[in-house]
Amino acid sequence: MTTLKVEDLRVSYGGVSALAGVSFTVPDRSIVAVLGPNGAGKSTLLRTIAGLVRPVSGTIDYGGRGLVGMAPEAIARSGISLVPEGGGVIRELTVEENLRLAHLWHHDAADERKAMSEVMDLFPALASRRRNPAHSLSGGERQMLAVGRTLMSRARLLLMDEPSLGLAPRLVSLIMRTVRELCDARGLGVLLVEQNARSALSIADEALLLSSGKAVASRRASELARDEELWHAYLGY
């Protein structure tokens, strides 16, 4: 079991508090959705876990190892993959190069080929565009490439920042369904940040509601989906 445990995490940017003591866990084989309005600290949370932002205090523990103070590349190599908003594909590289890059540090050519064919099977749309530069991809294809990269990296924990942003509803449900399937089939843990609360809750096990850097609620996703008062108060609908 590799569980992510975040305890009393505090982050501030130039004296302004972005996260004011957030605690939660993400076990294997489960999806935890992080919901909340703009500026609630959702992206900051992911970037802090990935090592891009250094917290003021608090601990982040993954499989018995403290992540605070580790370099982003070391955190990635411990099995955590952040998919930034928009997918974070490298525009100038081809689809195949983007995918290879995520696997290179394993130094295992046989497994690289295996992972590559898994990704191509999962997203046939990418297979036909292997040699195209990533900037020629549509928004949906970029998200597929981003998810594909996490498979290539053999990550055990995905940190996803707004994968539904700017996508057509059909593509949103494809991405969400794929994430759920990966979580079940491979036992991945997923921390899913979303503005689109309904689609996130449709696949999540647990949900964390953030507001102004504080966790204001933490429930089973199915319960939160029914709590109309909370919806009105924090999500505005």
Partner 1 sequence: MNYFVVLTLTGLAAGMIYAALALSLVIIWRATRVVNFAQGALAMTTTYIALAVIQATENYWIGFFAALLAGLVLGAVAERFLVRWVETGPPLNAVILTLGLLLMLEAVVPMIWGAQIRSFPAPVSIAAMEFGDLSIALSPFNLFTIGAVLLVVLGLFFLFRGTALGLTMRASAFAPEISRLLGVRVGRLLALGWGLAALTGALAGMLVAPTLLLYPNNMDAILVYGFTAAVLGGLDSAVGAVIGGVVLGLALSYIGGYGGGDLESIGALVILIAILMLRPQGLFVSGTERRV
Binding-site ranges for partner 1 (CB under 8 A) = 50, 52, 71-73, 76-77, 81-82, 84, 88-93, 97, 100-102, 104-105, 149, 153
For partner 1, the closer of residues 104 and 233 by Cβ is 104
For partner 1, the closer of residues 108 and 223 by Cβ is 108
For partner 1, the closer of residues 27 and 72 by Cβ is 72
Minimum distance of partner 1 from residue 120's CB (angstroms): 19
Distance CA 205, CA 184 (A): 12
Nearest residue to 24 (alpha-carbon basis) of 218, 227, 220: 218
Minimum distance of partner 1 from residue 98's CB (angstroms): 8
**What order of strands is seen across the sheet that includes strand 80-83?**
80-83, 157-161, 189-194, 31-35, 206-211, 214-220
Say what angle helices 109-122 and 95-103 make with each other, to 10 degrees.
Answer: 130
Minimum distance of partner 1 from residue 102's CB (angstroms): 5
Minimum distance of partner 1 from residue 53's CB (angstroms): 11
The per-residue b/e assignment along 113-139, b for 16 or more CB within 10 angstroms, e otherwise, is: eebbeebbebbebbeebeeebbeebee
How many CB atoms are closer than 10 A to CB 62?
22
Distance CA 132, CA 25 (A): 39
For partner 1, the closer of residues 56 and 105 by Cβ is 105
Minimum distance of partner 1 from residue 209's CB (angstroms): 26
For partner 1, the closer of residues 162 and 206 by Cβ is 162
